[in-house]
Amino acid sequence: MSFDRGEMESFWQYSGHRTWTWQRDIFDAGIAASTVGQMFKDHTDTPELNARVEAATSGPLPGHYPGTAQMSSPLWPVPAVDL
């Protein structure tokens, strides 16, 4: 199952009883960069956005992995759940 908002996509597996077995979020950096770039071009950026961009470009980000081998848990496959 997935939910697409254009800039981020989430995949999850429902395990019943109002709980999730797993969830993976994939952020589309290209679309986000295009949107922020257009905001800079149109001068519609804010000081808060500028601070976030500066923080994001200042070095390695927590939770960012350069490849799947460095991830703390596997992205795919995920275990099946019997409902």
- Residue 9 clears pLDDT 80, i.e. is over it: no
More confident residue, 74 or 6: 74
What's the CA gap between 18 and 4, in Å, rounded? 21
Which pLDDT value is given to residue 54? Answer: 92
What's the CA gap between 27 and 25, in Å, rounded? 6
Global pTM exceeds 0.85: no
- Residue 1 clears pLDDT 50, i.e. is over it: no
Q: What is the mean pLDDT of the chain?
A: 78
User: What are the tens digits of pLDDT across the range 70-81?
Assistant: 887 777 766 666
